[in-house]
Amino acid sequence: MGEGRMRGLATDLYQLTMAAGYLANGKTGEATFELFVRRLPPRRSWLLAAGLEQALEYLRDLSFDGHEIDYLRRVPMLARVGEPFFEYLRELRFTGEVWAVPEGTPVFAGEPILRVTGPLIEAQIAETYLLSTINFQTLIATKAARIVGAARGRSIVEFGARRCHGFGAALLAARAAFIGGCIGTSNVEAGYRYGLPVFGTAAHSFTQAFDEEAEAFRAFYELFGDQTTLLLDTYDTITAAHLATEFGSRLRGVRLDSGDLDRLSREVRSILDQAGMEKTTIMASGDLNEDRIEELIGGGAPIDIFGVGTELSTSRDEPALGGVYKLVEMTRNSQLVPKMKLSRDKATYPNRKQIWRRQGVDGHFAGDLIGLAEEAAAGAPLLERVMVGGKECRPAPTLPEIQDYAREQIERIPAGVRALADPTVYPVSYSEQLEAAQATLRRELERQH
Amino acid sequence: MGEGRMRGLATDLYQLTMAAGYLANGKTGEATFELFVRRLPPRRSWLLAAGLEQALEYLRDLSFDGHEIDYLRRVPMLARVGEPFFEYLRELRFTGEVWAVPEGTPVFAGEPILRVTGPLIEAQIAETYLLSTINFQTLIATKAARIVGAARGRSIVEFGARRCHGFGAALLAARAAFIGGCIGTSNVEAGYRYGLPVFGTAAHSFTQAFDEEAEAFRAFYELFGDQTTLLLDTYDTITAAHLATEFGSRLRGVRLDSGDLDRLSREVRSILDQAGMEKTTIMASGDLNEDRIEELIGGGAPIDIFGVGTELSTSRDEPALGGVYKLVEMTRNSQLVPKMKLSRDKATYPNRKQIWRRQGVDGHFAGDLIGLAEEAAAGAPLLERVMVGGKECRPAPTLPEIQDYAREQIERIPAGVRALADPTVYPVSYSEQLEAAQATLRRELERQH
* ipTM above 0.90 for this complex: yes
Minimal Cα distance from B320: which residue of A? A163
**CA angle A149–A155–A157, rounded 5-degree value:** 105
Contact at CB, B10 and A224, closer than 8 angstroms:
no
* Cα distance between residue B183 and residue B404, in whole Å: 11
CA distances from A27 to A334, B211, B216, B219 (A): 11, 12, 11, 11
- Residue B207 makes CB contacts below 8 A (sequence gap 6+) with B213, B216, B217, B231, B234, B235
* Cα distance between residue A169 and residue A51, in whole Å: 12
Q: Is B12 on the interface with A (CB under 8 A)?
A: yes
Contact at CB, A210 and B344, closer than 8 angstroms:
no
Which of B10, B72, B203 faces A14 most closely, judged by CB atoms? B203
* Cα distance between residue B382 and residue B357, in whole Å: 7
Q: Is B259 on the interface with A (CB under 8 A)?
A: yes
* DSSP H/E element including A36: strand A30-37
Which of B209, B325, B340 faces A327 most closely, judged by CB atoms? B209
User: How much of chain A exceeds pLDDT 70, in percent?
Assistant: 98
Contact at CB, A211 and B332, closer than 8 angstroms:
yes
Domains of chain A from N-terminus onward: 13-140+318-448 (3.20.140.10), 149-313 (3.20.20.70)
* Cα distance between residue A389 and residue A157, in whole Å: 39
Q: Is A260 on the interface with B (CB under 8 A)?
A: no
Residue-by-residue DSSP string for B18-39: HHHHHHHTT--SEEEEEEEESS
**pLDDT in single tens digits along all 449 residues of chain B:** 345 677 999 999 999 999 999 999 999 999 999 999 999 999 999 999 999 999 999 999 999 999 999 999 999 999 889 999 999 999 999 999 999 999 999 999 999 999 999 999 999 999 999 999 999 999 999 999 999 999 999 999 999 999 999 999 999 999 999 999 999 999 999 999 999 999 998 898 899 889 899 999 999 999 999 999 999 998 899 999 999 999 999 999 999 999 999 999 999 999 999 999 999 999 999 999 999 999 999 999 999 999 999 999 999 999 999 999 999 999 988 899 999 887 667 788 999 999 999 999 999 999 999 999 999 999 999 999 999 999 999 999 999 999 999 999 999 999 999 999 899 999 999 999 999 999 999 999 888 76
Torsion over CA of B211, A39, B177 and A4, rounded to 10 degrees? 90
**A245: pLDDT strictly greater than 50:** yes
Torsion over CA of B55, B61, B63 and B64, rounded to 10 degrees? -110
A21 contacts in chain B (CB < 8 Å): 202, 206, 219-220, 223
B122 contacts in chain A (CB < 8 Å): none
pLDDT confidence of residue B3: 56
* Cα distance between residue B6 and residue B9, in whole Å: 8
Contact at CB, B168 and A225, closer than 8 angstroms:
no
Size of interface A-B (CB pairs under 8 A): 376
**CA angle B6–B1–A125, rounded 5-degree value:** 115
Choose among B27, B36, B47: nearest CA to B417. Answer: B47
**CA angle A243–A246–A252, rounded 5-degree value:** 95
Minimal Cα distance from A210: which residue of B? B27
Predicted TM-score (pTM) of the model is 0.97
CB hemisphere CA count around B18 (13 angstroms): 26
Q: Under a CB-based contact definition with an 8 Å cutoff, are residues A75 and A58 in contact?
A: no
Q: Is A236 on the interface with B (CB under 8 A)?
A: yes
* Cα distance between residue B64 and residue B60, in whole Å: 12
Residues within 8 A of B (CB atoms), A 366-405 only: none
Q: Is A354 on the interface with B (CB under 8 A)?
A: no
Q: Is B2 on the interface with A (CB under 8 A)?
A: yes
A340 contacts in chain B (CB < 8 Å): 208
* Cα distance between residue B226 and residue B247, in whole Å: 9
